[in-house]
Structure 1
Amino acid sequence: MIFVTLGTQDKPFTRLLEALEKEIEKGNIKDEVIVQAGSTKYKSKKMQLFDLISQETFSDYMQKADIIITHGGVGSIVTALNFEKKVIAAPRLAQFGEHVNDHQLQIIKCFEQKNYILPLYDFEKLNEVIEKSKTFIPSKFISNRDNFLKFIERLIEE
């Protein structure tokens, strides 16, 4: 199963869902595709879409999925990595009205450099990236949370 999560952003990310639908229609994706679409309004007979789902249902889908495809939000990426899943991350881009700026490009590049995820920059290559994910061995995710909290504590104490 492929679980797609678009987060709760107030802007649509139909571009990713259209790319997925295209690969399903070509027969390249045969897995069940479940989508947490947030505010992205999209109709599909080939994917199961939900606007928002409970945290429990979200966790169940994360656990069951073979691949997680997500937008470039830190929370979505880290959640999938904490489930030790193979992650494909696609940035929302300002030029398509998917976000106010392109910070998700930088986020994805940082996770890619550490070999945590596979990036999807070119949606025409979605099938190639999915195929690559089948043999991809991500690095074990190491959170920087503790260092970040210590840094904030030092700032507060000063």
Structure 2
Amino acid sequence: MIFLTLGTQEPFDRLVRAVDDWCAATGRGTDLFGQITERAGYRPKHFEWVASLPPALHRQRCSEAEFIVSHAGMGSIITAMSYGKPIVILPRRADLKEHRNDHQQATARRLGGRPGLLVAQTESDLPPLLDRLVAGEAANDASALSPFADQGLIDALTAFIHGGHR
């Protein structure tokens, strides 16, 4: 199963339409489930979707997904990484009134290229990335994040605290 998730705040019709078009072109709609928000203007025709999911069902969908498709929100990215799932992101754009600023563009630039995280800068970039993941390419790149901080960070914080820095 492929899981499309947009969070609960803002609709992202450009991404939903691009995924719906991909499903229509490939016939993969039966493999995809989407959570698209209450205020979505575009309603998909080629895959099953809901406006919102309770947290437990959202976690279940993330756990069961082969990969995740999302906006470039940190919550979605961290969730995918914590489950060890590859994620394809399409950042929202302020100039298209999808967000109040371009912090998602900055997130995509900063995190793009990490194992298991594929960035589509435009809707036309999305289908080839989805095709790659369906074919199993890049799926093995994703690994689950540890629930604990990196030992180097712990050591640096410990040294800072015990070093008497103010």
Cα contact 1:120–1:129 (8 A) shared by 2 = yes
- Residue in 1 that maps onto 2:137: 135
- Residue in 1 that maps onto 2:73: 73
Any residues of structure 2 matched to 1:91-106 within 5 Å, and which?
A: 91-106=91-106
Cα contact 2:90–2:119 (8 A) shared by 1 = yes
Q: Distance in 1 between matches of 2:43 and 2:113?
A: 35
- Residue in 1 that maps onto 2:13: 14
Cα pair distance change 1:141/1:59, threshold 3 Å: closer
Cα contact 1:28–1:127 (8 A) shared by 2 = no
Cα contact 1:94–1:100 (8 A) shared by 2 = yes
- Residue in 1 that maps onto 2:118: 118
For the residue of structure 1 that corresponds to 2:141, the secondary structure is coil
Q: Partner letter of residue 33 of structure 2?
A: I
Cα offsets for 1:113-144 (capped at 9, x unmatched): 43340001121132211122221132545579
Cα contact 2:36–2:52 (8 A) shared by 1 = yes
TM-score (norm 2): 0.79
Any residues of structure 2 matched to 1:47-86 within 5 Å, and which?
A: 47-86=47-86
Q: Using the aligned pairs only, state the percent identity.
A: 25
For the residue of structure 1 that corresponds to 2:112, the secondary structure is helix
Cα contact 1:36–1:49 (8 A) shared by 2 = yes
For the residue of structure 2 that corresponds to 1:60, the secondary structure is helix
Cα offsets for 1:81-121 (capped at 9, x unmatched): 11110110110111111101111011122222433400011
Gaps of 5+ in 2: none
Q: Distance in 2 between matches of 1:105 and 1:144?
A: 26
For the residue of structure 2 that corresponds to 1:35, the secondary structure is strand
Q: Shift of the alpha carbon at 1:73?
A: 0.5
Q: Distance in 1 between matches of 2:16 and 2:117?
A: 19
- Range 93-102 or range 31-40, more displaced: 31-40
Q: Distance in 1 between matches of 2:145 and 2:46?
A: 36
Aligned pair count reads 153
RMSD, aligned CA: 2.5
Q: Partner letter of residue 137 of structure 2?
A: T
In the alignment, structure 1 residue 27 sits paired with structure 2 residue 26: yes
Larger radius of gyration: 2
Q: Shift of the alpha carbon at 1:50?
A: 1.5
